[in-house]
Structures are given as structure tokens and as C-alpha cells.
């Protein structure tokens, strides 16, 4: 059993009640319930540069992230985020024992992530404070044997998937693999490439809930921005990619949290 630490977090019950309608529910699509969540600045920017970890969430918003992690079966990020941030990918919510920890999933088509014994996700799994990661790589990638040994040593695994014509995973394939492994819900946290892909017209319909923390700061140009590719109608006219319905704003300290369910405009 994981032991409480000084970094254990709590999340206020009134705020949790406001978020409850957007938590995972039973999927009717034979795929995991997908929650897209991230923190952004007022200019829709995730970080100052692709390689600069940028703290945006305030203390309450940070606690919300760990609350959400404890309510999902898996937490997913791209390789770029894993490389830049060395994230823990666990929940530090008070009472989140090992049976409430999300399965870390890292999309790493080319095997770039130098995961090792010192990686936070591995260390936490060894301590019983998190689960071993599943790392998805493209078929034909020769993964270093030491990385495989480290990942499998904490109960994780390398999973091979085919890629589409642009060398990226198809999100339907990713969700299909997770579903077959018994993952009923997945919380996608980033980074920019992953978020923009899921908000693109091709994959927008796969997202069940969006929870965005908006920090009261502008980061400026040249940062990692949330801006999905455009969508056009049958006549070639540019139209909105989609919008959120059932919207709720949740104030958390100085941050504003936007919750909603995606709906693609007709």
C-alpha cells in the first residue's frame, strides 16, 4: 500500500461536485471514455517553447489534475512531453492508493523517450505509488533492450502499432488497443501535438469531455499553441472545427476551469 507523503494533495468537495458531470461514464462506443485536459495561457499557449517546462496551473488547479487522474484508468501523453518534463504520471490525491492509480501511456512512435531507472514514472512504480508505463512505438522500431528491461521491470510494456501515411498513430487504433487491454477511460494531458491532433476535424468526435485550465497570463509568440487544423465544408468554405456544449466554468483560485462536451458543428 502506498504511504501518505508530504506532497499528498486534497481537492475541495464543492469543486469536485461541479466537475462530476464530466467524469468518465460507461462508454457506449466500444472504446475508452476520452477526457482531454490541459492548462493554457490567455493566448492559448501551453509552454514558452517546446523544450521549456512552463508552470501554468495554480495550487487548486494542480490538485484538480490529480483528482482527475484518480478517476481515470489511464493517463496519456506524447513522447515530447515525456522527454521535456520527465513527468510522474501518477495521482497524489489523498486516498489514491495503487488501485486508483492511472496507467501511464506514452505515445513514442520512434522510441525517442530515454526512459530509465531514474525516470520519475519508473521510480514511483517501484515505490508502489504508480503503475509501470505502456510505451507505444511504431512497428519496426528497434527499442534499446535496457529500456525494455526497465519498463517491464515495473510492470509496464512496449506496445507496437502501425502508423498512418504521415508516420503518426491513428487515434482509433490507440483507443482500440487500450480498450482491448481493459482500459475504460483515458485522460489525455498533452503535449501540443497530441492536443491539436485530438481537436482536429479527423479526431474531434473521439473526445468525450474537455477540461481546460486557463491561467491569467500571456506567454507570447513562439510558444506551443493550441490551434487545431482548419475545417472546411462541402463548398470549401472555412468553418469552425467544433464547439463545446453543456459548458460549465469552475473558478479555482486565480485560474478559470472550462468544462464541456465536444460537439462538431453541422
Minimal CA–CA distance to 183: which of 83, 105, 78, 86? Answer: 105
Q: What is the pLDDT of residues 191-204, one digit of tens each?
A: 999 999 999 999 99
pTM, whole model, 2 decimals? 0.93
Q: What is the pLDDT of residues 116-141, one digit of tens each?
A: 999 999 999 999 999 999 999 999 99
In this prediction, residue 29 carries a pLDDT of: 80
Give CA–CA dist 216/191, Å, rounded: 20
The mean pLDDT of the chain is 93
Vertex 139: Cα angle to 74 and 167 (nearest 5)? 85
- Is the CB of residue 93 less than 8 Å from the CB of residue 10? yes
Average pLDDT over residues 149-159: 98
Banded model confidence at residue 150, pLDDT cuts 50, 70, 90: very high
Give CA–CA dist 212/196, Å, rounded: 13
Banded model confidence at residue 266, pLDDT cuts 50, 70, 90: low
In this prediction, residue 99 carries a pLDDT of: 85
Superfamily of domain 39-263 in the CATH hierarchy? Dihydrofolate Reductase, subunit A (3.40.430.10)
In this prediction, residue 194 carries a pLDDT of: 96
| The pLDDT of residue 2 is above 50 | no
Banded model confidence at residue 27, pLDDT cuts 50, 70, 90: low
Task: Kindly give the pairing relationship between strand 103-107 and strand 74-78.
Answer: parallel
Amino acid at each position: 500500500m502506498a504511504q501518505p507523503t508530504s506532497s499528498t494533495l486534497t481537492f475541495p468537495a464543492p469543486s469536485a461536485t461541479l466537475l462530476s458531470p464530466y467524469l468518465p461514464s460507461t462508454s457506449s462506443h466500444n472504446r475508452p471514455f476520452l477526457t482531454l485536459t490541459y492548462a493554457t495561457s490567455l493566448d492559448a499557449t501551453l509552454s514558452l517553447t517546446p523544450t521549456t517546462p512552463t508552470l501554468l496551473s495554480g495550487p487548486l488547479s494542480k490538485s484538480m489534475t490529480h483528482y482527475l487522474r484518480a478517476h481515470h484508468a489511464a493517463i496519456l501523453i506524447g513522447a515530447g512531453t515525456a522527454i521535456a518534463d520527465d513527468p510522474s504520471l501518477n495521482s497524489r490525491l489523498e486516498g489514491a492508493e495503487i488501485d486508483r492509480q492511472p496507467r501511464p501511456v506514452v505515445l513514442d512512435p520512434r522510441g525517442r523517450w530515454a526512459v530509465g531507472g531514474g525516470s520519475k514514472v519508473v521510480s514511483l512504480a517501484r515505490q508502489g505509488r504508480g503503475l509501470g508505463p505502456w510505451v507505444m512505438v511504431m512497428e519496426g522500431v528497434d527499442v534499446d533492450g535496457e529500456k525494455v528491461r526497465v519498463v517491464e521491470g515495473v510492470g509496464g510494456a512496449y506496445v507496437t502499432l502501425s502508423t498512418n501515411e504521415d508516420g503518426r498513430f491513428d487515434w482509433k487504433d490507440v483507443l482500440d488497443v487500450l480498450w482491448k487491454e481493459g482500459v475504460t477511460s483515458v485522460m489525455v494531458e498533452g503535449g501540443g501535438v497530441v492536443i491539436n491532433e485530438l481537436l482536429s476535424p479527423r479526431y474531434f468526435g473521439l473526445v468525450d469531455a474537455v477540461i481546460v485550465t486557463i491561467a491569467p497570463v500571456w506567454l507570447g509568440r513562439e510558444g506551443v499553441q493550441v490551434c487545431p487544423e482548419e475545417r472546411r465544408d462541402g463548398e470549401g468554405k472555412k468553418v469552425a472545427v467544433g464547439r463545446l456544449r453543456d459548458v460549465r466554468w469552475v473558478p479555482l483560485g486565480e485560474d478559470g476551469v472550462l468544462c464541456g462536451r465536444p460537439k462538431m458543428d453541422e
